Structure 1
Amino acid sequence: MRPRAPLEALIFDVDGTLAETEELHRRAFNAAFRAWGLPWSWSRERYRALLAVTGGKERLLHFLETDRPAAAERGRTLVAEIHAEKTARYHALLAAEGGALRPGVRRLLGEARAAGLRLAVATTTTPANVEALIRIAFGRPATALFEVVAAGDAVARKKPDPEVYRLALGRLGLPAGACLAFEDSANGLKAALGAGLATVVTPGLYTDGQDFVGASLVAPSLEAVGLGELEALVPAQAVVGLA
């Protein structure tokens, strides 16, 4: 029987995983559109479909090309500015409404730290968005809680590409077999699996019903998930015998 390697680190996605923030992002996009005088509005149904494209600027470009092709050429030149407006609106919404963590997240992070596990983030969002959420939810900088913050601006290819998870693993200096990933979406799951990570999925408001085949655990939330259960998810390691 192969022994299990000790669990050494937990790597978390942010939006939809640590906190149910996607609705705030949708509202922030719509507020930015209004601020720019653009006659666009993303319904919840449309935003659910748009979330198949990871990254805010990438999502906006995709929307222009598929929904507003006549405005796409001019729109491409404004994407960065519209997205900057959206980010400011998102931070304002976070500050006004708070960054409510999903059930079980705060407890699990506390238990993991107490047990000596290392914590990291692997996300397609920006470092500024990570910082805003963590400061509001925990009252301290992201780096005071997470040893590694690997964000979307540090990689060329976003999820479902595994690059951001490989970046996080590299910064941790750990093999994938010593870590667990936490995600809420099919794209995130594909990214984590592509990096060789066993993955826990807690579907969110916009990702319920997606295909999570390959996940080590799918749960409504982390509320009833403990460290003992997580340690059992770490893949068994081959034993190298002595000649």
Structure 2
Amino acid sequence: MAKALIFDFDGTILDTETPWYEAFRALYAEHKVELTLEQYSQCIGTSLHLFNPYEYLITDCGIAIDRDVFRSRVHEKHAELMKQETVRPGVISFLESAKAAGLRIGLASSSRLEWITPYLDKLELTSYFECIQTADHVKLVKPDPSLYLQTISILGIPAGDAIAIEDSPNGAKSAIAAGLHCVVLPNKITQYLDFGNITQHGQSLADISFEHLINDPSGFLAKPAV
């Protein structure tokens, strides 16, 4: 029986990822540049070290734009698109069930705390999490396992007793590398990414039985085929 649930944030609790892609794609289109999902996927669920969508037009396309103005416009477009987003289906139910069952609840995100906190507070979700680990707390973010290893260490739970809830390949790889069970629930954009042999479990937590998951987490161990 599982003793802890550890949630990713972006794309898992709240789909902030699809609006980011749509915002960048719209601004790229103004410069007649197509931003493919293949390109953008390199920075989903991780840092911008492989692909930086704020710099690509300048560094790779040779387009002279004001970095600050471009960043500001992307953020404005993202904020506009985020007005249509709500907590993903099943998340609140799972949090309530985990709390009632006495499970430890953590959050492990490759984003910064200053990005996550306002959303959690606005959605009234902060109190559910006894441990929140972000890019501020580790040297390497997902797919490196550090975020999950640090979270389970703080919670005092062995990796095999914890279940990660993820939406992206990078997030799933991180949880798997840390030895956690992992439920993979792609969102509107990550469903098109290449998960390789990593098992996907549905469209949202609404597709998962809480009791089944907690009592038999081994049945949800998302791992690549050997």
What amino acid maps onto 1:161 in structure 2? D
- 1:21 is matched with which residue? 16
**Across the two proteins, how many residue pairs are aligned to each other?**
217
- Bigger mean CA offset, 51-60 vs 165-174: 51-60
TM-score by length of 2: 0.77
Larger Cα Rg: Structure 1 or Structure 2? 1
- 1:52 is matched with which residue? 42
Instruction: Tell me, yes or no, if structure 1 residue 133 matches structure 2 residue 119.
Output: yes
- 2:93 is matched with which residue? 107
Rounded Cα–Cα distance in structure 2 between residues aligned with 1:41 and 1:70: 11
- 2:151 is matched with which residue? 168
1:85-128 Cα offsets, whole Å, 9 max, x none, are 4796488448x716501111111111111111111111111112
> CA 1:176–1:159 in 2, change beyond 3 Å: closer, same or farther?
same
Query: What secondary structure is seen at the aligned counterpart in 1 of 2:144?
Result: coil
- 2:52 is matched with which residue? 61
Rounded Cα–Cα distance in structure 2 between residues aligned with 1:137 and 1:214: 30
Match of 2:187 among 188, 194, 204: 204
Assess if the C-alpha contact under 8 Å between 2:6 and 2:162 holds in 1: yes
Q: How does 1:69-218 map to 2 (within 5 A)?
A: 69=60, 85=72, 89=76, 92-93=79-80, 97=83, 99-138=85-124, 142=126, 144-209=127-192, 210-211=194-195, 213-215=197-199, 218=201
Query: What secondary structure is seen at the aligned counterpart in 1 of 2:105?
Result: strand
What amino acid maps onto 1:213 in structure 2? N
Following TM superposition, the consecutive aligned residue runs of length 4 or more in structure 1 with deviations greater than 6 angstroms are none
Q: How well do the aligned residues superpose, as a CA RMSD in angstroms? A: 3.6
Instruction: Tell me, yes or no, if structure 1 residue 231 matches structure 2 residue 214.
Output: yes
Assess if the C-alpha contact under 8 Å between 1:64 and 1:71 holds in 2: no
Structure 1 residue runs without a partner (length 5+)? 1-5, 237-243
Rounded Cα–Cα distance in structure 2 between residues aligned with 1:154 and 1:174: 18
Assess if the C-alpha contact under 8 Å between 2:39 and 2:51 holds in 1: no
1:145-183 Cα offsets, whole Å, 9 max, x none, are 211111122222121111111111121121101100011
Assess if the C-alpha contact under 8 Å between 1:30 and 1:40 holds in 2: no
| Percent of matched pairs sharing the same residue | 28
Rounded Cα–Cα distance in structure 1 between residues aligned with 2:33 and 2:205: 29
- Bigger mean CA offset, 63-72 vs 225-234: 63-72
> CA 1:170–1:181 in 2, change beyond 3 Å: closer, same or farther?
same
Give the C-alpha shift of residue 68 in structure 1.
3.0
Structure 2 residue runs without a partner (length 5+)? 220-226
Rounded Cα–Cα distance in structure 1 between residues aligned with 2:4 and 2:134: 17
Rounded Cα–Cα distance in structure 2 between residues aligned with 1:233 and 1:169: 19
